Structure 1
């Protein structure tokens, strides 16, 4: 399958799942998808982000070798919300290596603090930060304060995720 060609033809859930099934647990095919994601053009990057997040959900270990490159891409200014959303979504499914946790936390705290970010990006960021905070208890307080400050102004989805994360990170 030519992933780039498939993504240029149409953007649908069916196409996304076809690509995810094609990649499966094959690291070489995932590398091709990551390369398509990183090299664009812009519309193709957007479309590649969706199957990439589903691949991470199915086979989280396959993403780890590409994590540094994906995180660097996420820091680029002006990337589309769909790219941010699906990239942060994929971070929920992997165990983030210690060496990347600081960078991931910085990115996710930035998204969470920005009320202009779409709620899905902020909600996924909360989940990723909660995962990091399980291994780094010092982050729990900072995350809890940030969520509590934003709950009164949050959408129902934000409030729901916020309460769930607060319950998870607070000691019983």
Structure 2
């Protein structure tokens, strides 16, 4: 299968699942998909991002070799919003190496506080930041402050994530 041609051929859930099923747990195929995702080609990045997130949901270990590049991409303000959204989506469940936690936490806080960021990006950032903060009282207090600040004027997805995170914070 020509991954690039498949990705550019149609933008649908069915097509994304076709690509994700083809890649499966195959490291070489995943490497090719990641090469496309990290290529910087606007449409290719946009379309491959969804498949990357779906594959990592199924096979979290596949993302480990690409972590440093994903963090750099999250910091890139010119990257396609789909890239940020899907990286944060996969970070909700994928194992996060300890050496990236601090940097990712800071990135997430800046995304949460950015009113220009897409709603899904901000909502996923809340979840990832809370996941990193779990068990750290100072970070949990900071998450409470940041999420509370955005509850009043936020869209439903952000309010929902914020409420869920606030429940977790209160339990800890």
**TM-score higher than 0.5 here?**
yes
Question: How is 1:9-24 mapped onto 2 (pairs within 5 angstroms)?
Answer: 9-24=9-24
Question: How is 1:34-73 mapped onto 2 (pairs within 5 angstroms)?
Answer: 34-73=34-73
Structure 2 residue aligned with 1:112: 112
1:136 Cα deviation from its structure 2 partner = 3.3
Question: How is 1:126-141 mapped onto 2 (pairs within 5 angstroms)?
Answer: 126-141=126-141
Structure 1 residue aligned with 2:153: 153
Is the contact made by 2:11 and 2:47 (CA closer than 8 Å) also made in structure 1?
A: yes
Residues 1:168 and 2:168 aligned together:
yes
Question: How is 1:90-105 mapped onto 2 (pairs within 5 angstroms)?
Answer: 90-105=90-105
- Larger CA deviation: 155-164 vs 14-23: 155-164
Is the contact made by 1:140 and 1:170 (CA closer than 8 Å) also made in structure 2?
A: no
Is the contact made by 2:73 and 2:84 (CA closer than 8 Å) also made in structure 1?
A: no
| CA distance in 2 between partners of 1:64 and 1:168 (Å) | 27
Question: How is 1:73-88 mapped onto 2 (pairs within 5 angstroms)?
Answer: 73-88=73-88
Structure 2 residue aligned with 1:32: 32
1:159 Cα deviation from its structure 2 partner = 1.2
Secondary structure class of the residue paired with 2:93: coil
Structure 1 segments, 4+ long, off by >3 Å, are none
Q: Which runs of 5+ in 1 are unaligned?
A: none
1:166 Cα deviation from its structure 2 partner = 0.7
How many residues in Structure 1 have an aligned counterpart in Structure 2?
172
1:12 Cα deviation from its structure 2 partner = 1.2
Normalization by structure 1: what TM-score? 0.94
Secondary structure class of the residue paired with 1:79: coil
Is the contact made by 1:133 and 1:169 (CA closer than 8 Å) also made in structure 2?
A: no
Q: Which runs of 5+ in 2 are unaligned?
A: none
1:135 Cα deviation from its structure 2 partner = 4.6
RMSD between superposed Cα atoms in Å: 1.3
Query: In 2 relative to 1, CA 6–157 (structure 1 residues): closer, same or farther, beyond 3 Å?
Result: same
Is the contact made by 2:56 and 2:62 (CA closer than 8 Å) also made in structure 1?
A: yes
Query: In 2 relative to 1, CA 80–136 (structure 1 residues): closer, same or farther, beyond 3 Å?
Result: same
Normalization by structure 2: what TM-score? 0.94
